[in-house]
């Protein structure tokens, strides 16, 4: 049995700093019977250090992912906050601002860059972020990405990289508040793990891709304030996990697809300020958890479905359409509205007395219609102002002129 004793020495016998090639491992072998085997081996320390460096690299991000991040950064210019100043060194998992890595594999898992944040870097600068440039396709080389948040930088242009749909683990894609143009990727339905898609407040055009309805885990869809046109996909209701669909301020046209009735988790639907047409479907008032329905600023016509006024909807805005007929006289204790806005339509007849039986109505707007007759007394009318009733044919009573 032998004991190996090794130490690192300088070949010239000096301890001072010198080229690594001049440093060696000195190993002597001793036996336990007291005699020494006269055998010495010298191995360049440089070899040992290279082995240690390779082992150490396992605990940092792969060089290919570091290179991809640097290529991503090179396509962007952020002149005020210096958020990319920390993107130095070999390990992109170590304190690179906005970069998070998987603790086991050390692969880049998230890019989280928000231009509006309470992070100290923004507080010190006393301003929000501004960034120009474009989103480089190099981001697609980070194949383990789970979240991509590049939000509210106001000046980033160009298109959403087509290759973004090749990221199989992507769950969050949040690009709100930039100046991105072009179309939504036609094959966005490949992102089967996607739960959040937010491209609001950009310049995205074209129609909603049919493949978007193939996202089985999508819960939050925000396309507000773009230039998206064309109809809602016929199979929009295939998004069974969807809880929020915010598509206001676009140019979406056509009727509401009947398949929407199958989205049982849908709680917030905002389609305001589009060019939607047709009648408002009766099923909208029978959706189990729908609490907010904004259809204002479209071209809907026909009567107001009575089911909308006795449902779980608490924020209902149907203003600025072409709705006709009388107000349904169906309200009761189940009717609870923080907002009930039916203004700027072609409604006629009297204000139904059943409105007084609603458990609560915070804001009621019936202005700019063709209503007539006395305004009922009591709640909620006793706290409403004249602006809620003006520009009708012949409404009278408090808060308007006496009948």
Q: What is the pTM of this model?
A: 0.84
What is the model's pLDDT at position 242?
98
Instruction: Please report the pLDDT score of residue 59 as a whole number.
Output: 63
Query: What's the rounded Cα separation, in Å, for the pair 153 and 177?
Result: 6
Please report where in the chains the tokens 């408090």 appear, as a residue: 398
Map 321-340 to HEC letters: CEECCECCCCCCCCCEEEEE
3-state secondary structure (DSSP) of residue 82: coil
**Helix/strand number for the chain, H first, E second:** 3, 27
- Give the strand pairing for 227-231 and 251-254: parallel
Q: What are the per-10-residue average pLDDT scores of the chain (403 residues)?
A: 35 35 36 38 39 47 97 97 95 96 96 93 89 98 98 98 98 98 98 98 98 98 98 97 98 98 97 98 96 98 97 97 97 94 98 92 96 91 92 94 91
What percent of the residues of the chain are helix, what percent strand, and what percent coil, each to the nearest 5? 20, 30, 50
Q: Mind listing the domains of the chain with CATH numbers?
A: 63-396 (3.80.10.10)
Distance CA 112, CA 153 (A): 12
Which helix (H) or strand (E) segment holds residue 48: the answer is helix 45-57
């Amino acid at each position: 049995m032998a004991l190996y004793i090794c130490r690192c020495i300088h070949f010239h016998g000096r301890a001072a700093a010198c080229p690594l090639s001049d440093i060696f491992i000195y190993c002597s072998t001793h036996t336990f019977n007291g005699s020494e085997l006269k055998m010495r081996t010298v191995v360049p320390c440089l070899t040992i250090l290279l082995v240690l460096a390779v082992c150490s690299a396992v605990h940092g991000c792969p060089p290919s992912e570091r290179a991809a991040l640097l290529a991503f950064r090179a396509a962007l210019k952020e002149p005020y906050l210096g958020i990319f100043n920390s993107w130095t060194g070999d390990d992109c998992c170590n304190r690179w601002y906005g970069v998070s890595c998987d603790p086991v594999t050390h692969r880049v898992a998230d890019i989280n860059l928000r231009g509006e944040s309470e992070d100290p870097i923004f507080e010190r600068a006393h301003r929000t972020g501004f960034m120009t440039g474009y989103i480089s396709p190099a981001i697609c080389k980070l194949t383990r990405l789970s979240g991509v948040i590049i939000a509210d930088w106001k000046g980033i242009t160009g298109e959403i990289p087509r290759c973004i749909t090749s990221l199989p683990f992507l769950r969050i894609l949040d690009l709100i508040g930039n100046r991105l143009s072009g179309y939504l990727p036609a094959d966005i339905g490949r992102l089967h793990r996607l739960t959040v898609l937010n491209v609001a407040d950009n310049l995205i055009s074209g129609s909603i891709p049919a493949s978007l309805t193939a996202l089985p885990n999508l819960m939050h869809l925000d396309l507000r304030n773009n230039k998206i046109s064309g109809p809602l996909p016929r199979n929009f209701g295939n998004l069974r996990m969807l809880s929020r669909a915010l598509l206001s301020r676009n140019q979406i046209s056509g009727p509401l697809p009947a398949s929407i009735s199958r989205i049982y988790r849908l709680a917030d639907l905002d389609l305001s300020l589009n060019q939607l047409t047709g009648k408002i479907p009766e099923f909208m008032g029978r959706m189990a958890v729908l609490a907010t329905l904004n259809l204002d600023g479209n071209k809907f016509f026909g009567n107001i479905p009575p089911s909308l006024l006795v449902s779980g909807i608490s924020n209902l805005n149907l203003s600025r359409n072409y709705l006709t007929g009388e107000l349904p006289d169906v309200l009761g204790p189940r009717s609870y509205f923080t907002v009930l806005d039916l203004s700027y339509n072609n409604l006629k007849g009297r204000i139904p007395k059943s409105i007084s039986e609603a458990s609560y109505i915070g804001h009621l707007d019936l202005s700019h219609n063709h209503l007539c007759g006395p305004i009922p007394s009591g709640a909620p009318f006793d706290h409403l102002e004249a602006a809620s009733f003006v520009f009708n044919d012949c409404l009278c009573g408090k808060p308007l002129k006496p009948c």
